[in-house]
Amino acid sequence: MALVDRFGRPLRSLRISVTDRCNLRCQYCMPEPDYVWLPRETLLTFEEIATLTTAFTTLGADRVRITGGEPLLRRNLPSLVGALAAMPAVRDLALTTNGVLLADAAADLRRAGLHRITVSLDTLDRARFQAMTRFDEHAAVLAGIDAAARAGFDSLKIDSVVIRGRNDDELGELIEYGRSVGAEVRFIEYMDVGGATKWQRDAVVSQREILETLSARFGSIAPVGGRGSAPADRFALPDGTTFGIIASTTQPFCADCDRSRLTADGVWLMCLYARAGTDLRRPLRAGATGDELVHLIQTVWAQRADRGAEERLDVDRREPLIPLAALKKDAHLEMHTRGG
């Protein structure tokens, strides 16, 4: 029988963070002047990541997304992509990147077997990009998106976190830009996850507001069904252009969540909002067999009852999830350690 958690959710989608380092400092993710990093010797090697991925696939995982931090900072990433792409059980292999280093990497990633790519881009304005990320890398990201479009991935997506007063006046332009490069845009509601220390409820632009803004500009918008366990609700403009909204903050979708996350040092997290996870590096480095790893993963998943985003809805005075002092003590609480 297929492995399911306490709410009947299967283990399907594994997000693997390959580094906690990043070459941007987005204000909604890494707004602080300095950070506590994972010790380098704790980072899983590509062989260790492949061993763990095999254990996960034994239990039904068939979708893998490589993330970070910024995954393209990890040296030799195409060799990990090649190893994962060679696993028949991995039916879908994707990468999420900020795009800064993508122009030089896209073709190699495609050749190594990467199926799909998502680039995070919140604005089409260079000065705004610099204000939001603290780096003047806008042109590099656009070049990265162009290179990804040329590399011929099965799909190219652009993810934009929408923040009131920062980029909520660019929704239509972002969709049009996506259309021009053959990418589907997905708007992400600003989440109060660890690391978002400046999060405020008022800064969240809800799915409802996003749809109102877009229909005022483009005309009537139709839902596109069949979301399944994917995080985005999909919609179509009157001309057929599709886009998505990930409404994790105002309309969470925990009931369908088949995702879990492996940090770069091997901590396995059941939810973006989880306070702690399961250390898989320790048993792995202590010589656990494949069967023992499978058994451990199976036991933990069978007990999973996380529905972090839904629980946040019940909080009256919603503030940043994790206080700064706690983030300084445990890098695992940070979004940039967990991957998005």
Interface residues toward ligand SAM, by CB under 6 A: 22, 28-29, 67-68, 70, 96-98, 120, 159, 161, 188, 190-191, 193, 196, 335-336, 339-340
Whole-angstrom CA distances from 5 to 58, 72, 297 are 16, 32, 11
Query: Does residue 298 come out as left (phi exceeding 0), alpha (psi in the -120 to 50 range) or beta?
Result: alpha
Q: How is residue 90 annotated by DSSP?
A: -
Q: Which is nearer to ligand SAM, 153 or 218 (CB)?
A: 153
Q: Rounded to a whole number, what is the distance in angstroms from the first to the last CA of the chain?
A: 30
Dihedral Cα 121, 207, 227, 14, nearest 10 deg: 50
Kindly tell me the burial class for residue 314, based on how many C-beta atoms sit within 10 Å of its own C-beta (0-12, 13-18, 19 or more). Answer: exposed
User: Nearest to residue 79, comparing CAs of 45, 36, 41?
Assistant: 45
Q: Which is nearer to ligand SAM, 247 or 293 (CB)?
A: 247
Give the chain's count of helices (H) and strands (E): 12, 12
Query: Least separation, in Å, of the C-beta of 280 and ligand SAM?
Result: 20
For residues 98 and 119, the answer to whether their CB atoms sit within 8 Å is yes
User: Angle at CA 321, nearest 5°, toward 306 and 258?
Assistant: 25
Query: Least separation, in Å, of the C-beta of 246 and ligand SAM?
Result: 8
Query: Least separation, in Å, of the C-beta of 258 and ligand SAM?
Result: 18
Query: Least separation, in Å, of the C-beta of 220 and ligand SAM?
Result: 28
- Report the sign of the C-alpha dihedral through residues 124, 126, 132, 135, in that order: positive
Q: Which is nearer to ligand SAM, 89 or 315 (CB)?
A: 315
Query: Least separation, in Å, of the C-beta of 121 and ligand SAM?
Result: 9
For 286-327, the three-class secondary structure string (H helix, E strand, C coil) is: CCCCHHHHHHHHHHHHHCCCCCHHHHHHCCCCCCCCCCHHHH
Q: Which is nearer to ligand SAM, 68 or 244 (CB)?
A: 68
Q: Which is nearer to ligand SAM, 13 or 120 (CB)?
A: 120
Q: Which is nearer to ligand SAM, 59 or 193 (CB)?
A: 193
Query: Least separation, in Å, of the C-beta of 339 and ligand SAM?
Result: 5
Whole-angstrom CA distances from 261 to 59, 145, 162, 184, 335 are 15, 25, 23, 24, 11
Query: Least separation, in Å, of the C-beta of 253 and ligand SAM?
Result: 14
Query: Least separation, in Å, of the C-beta of 285 and ligand SAM?
Result: 25
Query: Least separation, in Å, of the C-beta of 1 and ligand SAM?
Result: 33
Query: Which residue, judged by CB position, is nearest to ligand SAM in the bound state?
Result: 340
Q: Which is nearer to ligand SAM, 54 or 248 (CB)?
A: 248
User: Nearest to residue 297, comparing CAs of 1, 43, 59?
Assistant: 59
Q: Which is nearer to ligand SAM, 29 or 297 (CB)?
A: 29
> How many CA atoms does the CB half-sphere of 325 hold within 13 Å?
0
16: helix, coil or strand? strand
Q: Which is nearer to ligand SAM, 5 or 192 (CB)?
A: 192
